[in-house]
Structure 1
Amino acid sequence: MSRAASRRSPGEGALFYRADRDRWVGRVTIDGERRTVSAKTKTEARKELDLLRRAADDGLPLTAGSMTLADLLTVWADKALPNRVLADSAITSHKWAIKILVEEIGNVKVRRLTPDQVEAAFLRRTKTIDVAKRRGRGRTSGSALSRSSLIKVRSTLSQALKWAQRRNLIARNIAGLVEIPADAAVPKSGKSLTVAEAKLLLIAAAGTDLEAMWIVMLYLGLRPGEAAGLAWDDIDFDSGTVHIWRSRKVGASGNSVVGATKTPGSIRTLDAPQPVLDSFVRHRRRQHEQRLAAGSWWTNEENLVFTSPYGKPSDSAAVRKEFREIVAASDVEGDWTPNLLRHSAASLMADAGMPIELVADQLGHRDLRMLQRHYRHRIRPTISGGAVVDGLLTREVS
């Protein structure tokens, strides 16, 4: 039985049947060069033709079978990540994971990538890495990756493969079949300030530009991005509450942008004890003085609580720098970051007897297991009825 040729629209290539080869053939011109694909059926040939054109559009190798995981991850990082609003830490995490995947299995063809190959790479990464030459590439030295780190790597792989799957570059996303090695180390939970250390830190922070940020994070357990995203409209001085509904993040372009909270469950309204409200009053007075000094250079269009002296969104690097200076001035030993104030808040609340469910609500968490694993430290038995946030740290820290 004869088979009629199928012509496509101009620029989309052509499909036709070759009886001498018993194959369907697709042809398309890309960058002035004719490319040809063939398959047993017309449908398969059309898919191969579409794949060829899509790969060219995405900057991937024109022969789908030659596309390596390194090729895919490079294009995904260049094309997909810039279009997403992500915190700078999330972008850094993806790039870190890409580096590991490229080092381990970057030369594997994406269409031939199997869960076993990924699991074998993960198993290698549970061991301490030595500097070595492997297939002509140097490997970075470092310690073994923990279970949570490997989960992050798998998540990056899954997102990249999902992006490729939507573009018909691969048939399936195998990342969901990958299991984390059973002997992968479980990371230690984050450290927390003691009551005495919290006192020292707050004394050192008194009168500084971002005193209110450190107080609200330590008392209420806000994430750094949630604190940076606070607007004055989010603070109700009459009811003594703070509404958390957005987070300030750094996009792939480096610009500071306002986005949704980390999860829908992170949207919450929190009772603010008097020290928090008082710190906001002092901060508003300080910001008013900065606005007068800046004059026409003032640009706080979003009415943010925490800004630069000229009203621009607070810079995350500057925030971390000021926090390090406060820690150094407080004589609190160790390496501390602003995010550990959140850990400390959870620990202090639970240590005072606040039920774990209320601590989870306070921090905007729904996964109690994760909260118990990463945020609680030095926990006493829960007191019946628990404690409320209002006055908790006033009693313990002031």
Structure 2
Amino acid sequence: MTAPRDTPASRRTRANGDGTVYQRKDGRWEAAGYVLAPGNTRRRVRVYGTTRKEALAKLTEKIANSNRGLPVPTSQGSVAAYLTYWLENVAVHHLRENTHTRYTACVHRYLVPGLGKKKLTKLTAKDVRTWLNQPRTTCQCCTRGIDARRDQPRCCAAGQYCHKLLSPLTLTYIHSVLKSALEHAVCEEEIPRNVARNVRTGTPRPRRFEPLTADEARQLLTSAGGHRLHALLELALHTGLRKGELLGLRWEDLDLDTGAAAIRQTCSAPAQAGSPRCPPRRRASERRIALPSRCLHSLKLHREQQQREREAAGTTWQHDGHVFTTVQGRPIDPTNLTRTFTTLLRKAGLRRIRFHDLRHSTATLLLEQGVELVVIKELLGHAHIGVTATVYAHVRLRLQRDAIDTLSTALDGRETTEMARSDGDEPPPCTALVR
């Protein structure tokens, strides 16, 4: 009878559930065993190695993951195939239209060319990190073929690199899109873990905003006095409404008698995409705000002007209740509003800023006037007061410095008064009020 130690390694008996390990005719070692598969089923997998120890280690790892409840990946497709599936079947039902458009551009412009050929199951954190480091130093004008499509090349073909690199904020956005897609792949048990979460891109600096001063705001409103969207600018500066909230505002949401407005929907998609109305993203954005008398007067004039435009348009008028529309009554495209705003800034002789900076201007001016932070939070529709305090921390710091300087001036004045009182026989002056 042959002793167990004399049995060849390829024929040694393994315990039940440990799988089998044997040497193939080509010299490689193969290990096979049953592991957990999606749907609470079991599936036989095979792994290979140059030595028996290597093949056995791979099989042991898969069995250990199976014992922890992690099913074996079933997807054999590429990253590009899964990203396309995710955009067309998952993200389209959970994202707003403009967000889905940005995600689609990010996937087809950066992720598919960079990681699309990789197998989804074989994608590693090292692959993601290595690829994210490339756009930091690679000219995108040349990588994406922008220079090749020009009539007169002025970058790679001309030997002059424009160094059009991706910003840290864009890289962080690309990374977040990839994480979202891989997270859904984990939920569908296509892959065991989200490798993109193991990559740290760093926190980019927040985008600086340049709010208008009180003088610049008055200059803008004065210059846009005769424009058909003067009421929109005045409402934006007095209430801090977002661009989408202004364009989604309807006459039924306004109460011009009591001076109040109900923010119930927003408009962020292009007008040609159908109905641009959609509820606000957060519950706190649905709110009622008070309207100042200047805005009420401007809105009444705007309604009269809109009625004249309706009579002039005749049968081509397509009004559906929006406050701010085109001359034909259609909703205003957000991109066209940005172009109009840039033109009005140039006409007023002001520096170029974003339309969203009008919202920052409102909050900054309110803080400088001593308005409580909780009131500004309710007006802007922030979910938490911490958001308001963080975004406008620099304004609060300046107000603190002004208060400290005021207190120092008061204390210095009191000391001078006491010295004058001790040296002379004059009666003590009345106490000055500290504002």
Match of 1:112 in 2: 122
**Secondary structure in 2 aligned to 1:345?**
helix
- Report the Cα distance in structure 1 between the residues aligned to 2:325 and 2:166, rounded to whole angstroms: 39
Over residues 219-268 of structure 1, what are the superposed CA-to-partner deviations in whole Å (9 max), with x where a residue is unaligned? 11111101000011111122211111210121798334211112111111
Is 1:88 matched with 2:116?
no
**How many aligned residue pairs are there?**
328
Over residues 171-212 of structure 1, what are the superposed CA-to-partner deviations in whole Å (9 max), with x where a residue is unaligned? 44444454333xx54134211111121111111221212111
Residue 280 of structure 1, CA deviation: 1.0
**Which one has a larger percent helix, Structure 1 or Structure 2?**
2
Residue 315 of structure 1, CA deviation: 1.8
Tell me, yes or no, if the aligned pair for 1:85 and 1:259 is still in contact at 8 Å: no
Q: 1:216 aligns with which of 235, 240, 257?
A: 235
- Report the Cα distance in structure 2 between the residues aligned to 1:304 and 1:207, rounded to whole angstroms: 21
Match of 1:199 in 2: 218
Tell me, yes or no, if the aligned pair for 2:261 and 2:291 is still in contact at 8 Å: yes
Tell me, yes or no, if the aligned pair for 1:82 and 1:253 is still in contact at 8 Å: no
Residues 42, 373 of structure 1: alpha-carbon distance in 2 compared, 3 angstrom cutoff:
closer
TM-score normalised by length of structure 2: 0.64
Match of 2:77 in 1: 67
Residue 326 of structure 1, CA deviation: 0.8
Match of 2:167 in 1: 145
**Secondary structure in 2 aligned to 1:242?**
strand
Match of 2:249 in 1: 230
Match of 2:365 in 1: 348
Residues 155, 370 of structure 1: alpha-carbon distance in 2 compared, 3 angstrom cutoff:
farther
Tell me, yes or no, if the aligned pair for 2:121 and 2:191 is still in contact at 8 Å: yes
Residue 120 of structure 1, CA deviation: 4.5
**Secondary structure in 2 aligned to 1:222?**
coil
Tell me, yes or no, if the aligned pair for 1:228 and 1:314 is still in contact at 8 Å: yes
Residues 321, 131 of structure 1: alpha-carbon distance in 2 compared, 3 angstrom cutoff:
closer
Residue 95 of structure 1, CA deviation: 2.0
Alignment-mate amino acid for residue 213 of structure 2: T
Match of 1:26 in 2: none
Residues 109, 355 of structure 1: alpha-carbon distance in 2 compared, 3 angstrom cutoff:
farther
Tell me, yes or no, if the aligned pair for 1:69 and 1:107 is still in contact at 8 Å: yes
Higher relative CO (Cα under 8 Å, sequence separation at least 6) belongs to 1
Residue 64 of structure 1, CA deviation: 5.9
Match of 1:34 in 2: none
Residues 242-391 of structure 1 correspond to what in structure 2 (within 5 A)? 242-250=261-269, 254-301=273-320, 303-333=321-351, 335-374=352-391, 378-379=395-396, 380-381=398-399
- Report the Cα distance in structure 1 between the residues aligned to 2:272 and 2:120, rounded to whole angstroms: 28
Match of 1:158 in 2: 179
RMSD between aligned alpha carbons?
A: 3.8
Match of 1:52 in 2: none
Alignment-mate amino acid for residue 142 of structure 1: K
Residue 376 of structure 1, CA deviation: 6.0
- Report the Cα distance in structure 2 between the residues aligned to 1:308 and 1:226, rounded to whole angstroms: 16
- Report the Cα distance in structure 2 between the residues aligned to 1:298 and 1:108, rounded to whole angstroms: 53
**Secondary structure in 2 aligned to 1:300?**
coil
- Report the Cα distance in structure 1 between the residues aligned to 2:363 and 2:107, rounded to whole angstroms: 29
Tell me, yes or no, if the aligned pair for 1:39 and 1:45 is still in contact at 8 Å: no
Alignment-mate amino acid for residue 158 of structure 1: K
Over residues 110-129 of structure 1, what are the superposed CA-to-partner deviations in whole Å (9 max), with x where a residue is unaligned? 2223344434444555x444
Over residues 52-97 of structure 1, what are the superposed CA-to-partner deviations in whole Å (9 max), with x where a residue is unaligned? xxxxxxxxxxx96542222222333344454456253662255236
Residues 351, 117 of structure 1: alpha-carbon distance in 2 compared, 3 angstrom cutoff:
farther
Residue 144 of structure 1, CA deviation: 4.9
Tell me, yes or no, if the aligned pair for 1:246 and 1:258 is still in contact at 8 Å: yes
- Report the Cα distance in structure 2 between the residues aligned to 1:342 and 1:216, rounded to whole angstroms: 10
Residue 305 of structure 1, CA deviation: 0.5
Alignment-mate amino acid for residue 73 of structure 1: L
TM-score normalised by length of structure 1: 0.69
- Report the Cα distance in structure 2 between the residues aligned to 1:223 and 1:180, rounded to whole angstroms: 30
Over residues 259-293 of structure 1, what are the superposed CA-to-partner deviations in whole Å (9 max), with x where a residue is unaligned? 11121111111111111111111111111111112
Tell me, yes or no, if the aligned pair for 1:118 and 1:178 is still in contact at 8 Å: yes
- Report the Cα distance in structure 1 between the residues aligned to 2:178 and 2:199, rounded to whole angstroms: 10
Over residues 275-323 of structure 1, what are the superposed CA-to-partner deviations in whole Å (9 max), with x where a residue is unaligned? 111111111111111111222322223x111112222111223212221
Tell me, yes or no, if the aligned pair for 1:81 and 1:252 is still in contact at 8 Å: no
Match of 1:77 in 2: 87
Residues 121, 311 of structure 1: alpha-carbon distance in 2 compared, 3 angstrom cutoff:
same
Residue 42 of structure 1, CA deviation: 9.4
Tell me, yes or no, if the aligned pair for 2:246 and 2:266 is still in contact at 8 Å: yes
Q: Percent identity?
A: 25
- Report the Cα distance in structure 1 between the residues aligned to 2:254 and 2:212, rounded to whole angstroms: 26
Residue 351 of structure 1, CA deviation: 2.2
- Report the Cα distance in structure 2 between the residues aligned to 1:42 and 1:143, rounded to whole angstroms: 45
- Report the Cα distance in structure 2 between the residues aligned to 1:65 and 1:171, rounded to whole angstroms: 11
Unpaired stretches in structure 1, ≥5 consecutive residues: 1-21, 23-37, 50-62, 385-398
